[in-house]
Amino acid sequence: MMWEQSENNILVVGHRGAKAFYPENTILSFQKAIELGVDGIEMDINMTKDGHLVVIHDNTVDRTTNGTGKVADFNMSEIKVLDAGGYFSPDYTGERIPAFEEFLELVKNKKLLLNVEIKDYRTCVIDKTIKMLEEYKLTDTYVITCFDANVTTYAHKKYGVKTQGFPQWLVINYNEESNSHYYSVGIGMKDLTRELCDKYKELNIDPWCWCPDDEENVLRAIECGSTLVTVNNPIPALNILKAKNLHQ
């Protein structure tokens, strides 16, 4: 069912795993989201000083680990000793920042839609990310996502891969060409309207939304015409969409 999302088949993607319940962007969070029955996983890519891709949202380690400093200033060996679970709950002390390879090993045979958000905008990071996805034989299972239109344009022009952007007021380096390189656009709930979704559909861009985490917002996402929801808590979306026969 990958890439068959529509208003009658709305896909559910776990935002940084199952972020509502587990420390974000950890193997535990991804595994639990998969167990809940999501159609895909959204995660974030940064690169270490010694050229390793790691799964962490921020460009610094401060918010989600017991360390401080920029990801790009750490070697991989230094990143791997940081605790990436204790900030969320003492129960998860000892969770680590995953290497991208660890994430790819987890998802490689699971037929999941992968939303791979580039947080380090250097061209070498885009190249390495796509190369590794292809090495793991994940061709046409992923979108490359970024708030920098230069990144999505580069990924689509050079590699022909699907990309996800955002409404132009959220994007840097946006220009009149940017939309032509988007497969989909992620719309936050505060910006989500039927009018905006219809506008993107007219441009042949799929309107996705983030993060309808309760019943009210899931119903609004359906009403507005979103074809995919990225959620911190997958349970309300899965329950409502299945009840309404909008999730196959």
Active site residues per annotation:
15, 57
Asked whether the beta carbons of 230 and 186 are under 8 A apart, the reply is yes
Residue 21 CA to residue 29 CA, distance in Å, equals 8
Asked whether the beta carbons of 229 and 12 are under 8 A apart, the reply is yes
Backbone angles phi, psi at 45, to 5 degrees: -115, 130
Hey, CA dihedral for 125, 128, 134, 135, is it positive or negative?
Answer: negative
The residue assigned the tokens 């349970």 is 235
CA atoms within 13 A on the CB side of 3: 10
Backbone angles phi, psi at 220, to 5 degrees: -70, -40
Residue 122 CA to residue 100 CA, distance in Å, equals 16
Among 219, 233, 225, 228, CA closest to 247: 228
Among 222, 168, 63, CA closest to 44: 63
How many Å from the N-terminal Cα to the C-terminal Cα in the chain? Answer: 8
